[in-house]
Amino acid sequence: MSLTKAPEDTPERRAYREKIARQNLSPLWTVLSDLITPEPKSACRPHMWRYGEVRDTLMEAGRLITAREAERRVLILENPGMPGESRVTTSLYAGLQLVLPGEIAPSHRHSQSALRFVMEGSGGAHTSVNGEKTYLNVGDFVITPPNCWHDHGNESGDPVIWLDGLDVPMVQTFDTSFAEPLGADEQPIDKPVGYSNARYGANLMPVDYDDTTLTSPIFSYPYSRTREALEEMRAKEEWDPCHGLKMRYANPKDGGFAMPTIGTFVQLLPKGFSSARYRSTDAAVIVPVEGKGRSRIGEQTFEWGPQDILVVPSWAWCHHEADEDAVLFSFSDRPAQLKLGYWREDRGNA
Which residues sit at the interface with ligand GTQ, rule CB under 6 A?
72, 74, 95, 97, 110, 114, 150, 164, 166
Instruction: Report in angstroms how near the CB of residue 292 gets to ligand GTQ at its nearest.
Output: 28
The smaller minimum CB distance to ligand GTQ, of residues 110 and 133, is found at: 110
H or E segment and range at residue 107: strand 104-110
For the chain, give percent helix, strand, coil, nearest 5: 20, 30, 50
Instruction: Report in angstroms how near the CB of residue 106 gets to ligand GTQ at its nearest.
Output: 10
3-class secondary structure, 195 = helix
When CB distances to ligand GTQ are compared, the closest residue is 164
The smaller minimum CB distance to ligand GTQ, of residues 325 and 333, is found at: 333
Residue 322 vs residues 243, 267, 275, 284, 293: alpha-carbon distances, Å: 12, 12, 9, 18, 4
Instruction: Report in angstroms how near the CB of residue 150 gets to ligand GTQ at its nearest.
Output: 6
Q: Report d(CA 307, CA 288) in Å as an integer.
A: 6
Sign of CA dihedral 318, 323, 325, 328: negative
The smaller minimum CB distance to ligand GTQ, of residues 297 and 309, is found at: 309
Task: Please enumerate in sequence order all residues whose Cβ is within 8 A of that of 99, keeping only pairs 6 or more positions apart, or say none.
Answer: 67, 73, 105, 125, 152, 153, 154, 159, 160
The smaller minimum CB distance to ligand GTQ, of residues 72 and 294, is found at: 72
The smaller minimum CB distance to ligand GTQ, of residues 171 and 297, is found at: 171
Nearest to 216 by CA among 264, 282, 284, 164: 264
Q: Could you say which DSSP state residue 36 is in?
A: S
Instruction: Report in angstroms how near the CB of residue 164 gets to ligand GTQ at its nearest.
Output: 3
The smaller minimum CB distance to ligand GTQ, of residues 146 and 293, is found at: 146
Instruction: Report in angstroms how near the CB of residue 306 gets to ligand GTQ at its nearest.
Output: 21
Instruction: Report in angstroms how near the CB of residue 173 gets to ligand GTQ at its nearest.
Output: 17
The smaller minimum CB distance to ligand GTQ, of residues 179 and 205, is found at: 179
Q: Report d(CA 45, CA 155) in Å as an integer.
A: 38
Instruction: Report in angstroms how near the CB of residue 56 gets to ligand GTQ at its nearest.
Output: 19
* Neighbour order of strands in the sheet with 245-248: 47-49, 309-312, 284-290, 326-332, 263-269, 245-248
Q: Report d(CA 109, CA 146) in Å as an integer.
A: 8
The smaller minimum CB distance to ligand GTQ, of residues 120 and 164, is found at: 164
Instruction: Report in angstroms how near the CB of residue 216 gets to ligand GTQ at its nearest.
Output: 18
Task: Please enumerate in sequence order all residues whose Cβ is within 8 A of that of 87, keeping only pairs 6 or more positions apart, or say none.
Answer: 44, 78, 79, 93, 168, 169
